[in-house]
Amino acid sequence: MTGHRDIPALVVGGGIGGLATALSLARSGQRVHLVERAPEFAEIGAGLQFGPNASRALDALGVLEDILPLAVAPARAVMVDARTGRRLTTLDFGPAFVRRYGYPYLVLHRHDLLEKLVEHCRRHPLITLENNRTVADVDLRADGATVVCTDGTRYETAAVIAADGLHSALRRHVVDDDTICNGYVAYRGTVTRERAGRSADDTSVLLWVGPGMHLMQYPVRRGELYNQVAVFRSRRYRPGLEPGTWGGHDELDEAFEDACRPVREAVARIGRARHWAMFDREPATTWVNGPLVLTGDAAHPMLQYLGQGACQALEDAVELGHRFRLHTHGGVVDLRRAYREFEQVRIPRTARCQTSARPWGELWHTDDPTVLALRDRLLARRPADDYDELDWLYAPAPEATAGSAPDAAERIDATPRT
């Protein structure tokens, strides 16, 4: 058994959210130790879509400039009918979009972001990282906590930040609930741009939607790779069934058999080694229990239809670091106040993301003829530069802490990167 003491803040989880949180806390002057259960830092999946709110958060963390050369700033997003191939609507990500929000829309490879976050954390003198530590439980006290790992390792700490994802081992100490499965599964993977049949100057994000299924496609890693995500509703799913017993290869092919040829060909290129069931949770009314606070998917897992899972985790990280900075006096953090203000700012926003993602996904996947007709008619009428419905998500809050330089739009070239 190993004992670790005198850890002012312990971050549990070494994914994007956990590393960003460690970096944010350290930049606020807090000494941080992060534990990750895997033997090395790695991300599951390939692609990430980052709205301007996430680009803004990366800038606040000092990471954006390292990410820009690796990412792609797409020219537009296009929604297409997956069965007919008819374009439904377009969202322009060009100069007007960047001027409005101050930051670009980016698409990037998860590993590229994770690698840069690890580099920044390892260079920071206030951060230590440790792998091969699986947290099993925590003993919470008024003056701190004891975090216990499966191998018997124990950490004494004043603050515990749970960034350990959807199936967080620590969430049950704050919220008594369970994950919710909607019966959808996702197959993900990348192919070379050439194999995807995409030209070097085509940086569009393509969303193909149809009854009970959709396909998302976009370039990553400077445009060298093409990320593809095929999602569909399983006919075999029933509550209580174990993941892996439904949503297999035959169901994938069946779900897309009525799609147009480009979609069928793209789905045929997606790797079949693994698939992921889609889960979220109901919004929680609190993320805090004494010295423990939940962040990222441990606090507010959401369905992917707004593309906000990792984005909101980054916002969490920046906001928590900001609150620690505000409420540290004489080297001591007023944890209760920092956590309380963190919740007050973040819970309403993430709850809106969680509850908005669900109906948006239903609109993508509807097979109701009336709803389809109304949806397609309304989408066809909206201009490509109509951003009004996005302001709540992408614009900085009046007193945003995840924003930084007022001249960010001038510093960042919004020209699509290939």
Note the pLDDT of residue 413: 55
Is the pLDDT at 168 greater than 70? The verdict is yes
Active site residues per annotation: 218
**Alpha-helical runs (H) found in 280-334:** 309-326
Residue 186 falls inside a structural domain: no
Residue 259 lies in a domain: no
Does residue 251 lie in a domain region?
no
Does any domain span residue 406?
no
Q: Which domain holds residue 144?
A: 4-178+281-394
pLDDT one-digit tens code per residue, 104-157: 999 999 999 999 999 999 999 999 999 999 999 999 999 999 999 999 999 999
- Strands 32-35 vs 3-12: parallel, antiparallel or unpaired: parallel
Question: Do the domain assignments include residue 114?
Answer: yes
Over residues 69-87, the mean pLDDT reads 97
Q: Does the pLDDT value for residue 158 go beyond 80?
A: yes
Let me know if 86 is exposed, middle or buried by CB neighbors in 10 A (0-12, 13-18, 19+): exposed
Strand pairing report for 127-130 and 32-35: parallel
Residues 6+ apart with CB under 8 A from 122: 129
Residue with tokens 């979220």, as numbered in its chain: 280
Q: Is 132 left (phi over 0), alpha (psi -120 to 50) or beta?
A: left
Task: Answer with the residue of higher pLDDT: 224 or 410.
Answer: 224
**Residue with tokens 């350990």, as numbered in its chain:** 164
Residue 299 belongs to domain with CATH number: 3.50.50.60
Instruction: State the chain's maximal CA–CA distance in angstroms.
Output: 65
Domain-located, residue 275: no
Kindly report, residue by residue over 300-328, the tens digit of the pLDDT: 999 999 999 999 999 999 999 999 999 99
What is the number of domains present in the chain? 1
pTM of the full predicted structure?
Answer: 0.94
Phi, psi (deg, nearest 5) at residue 131: -100, 175
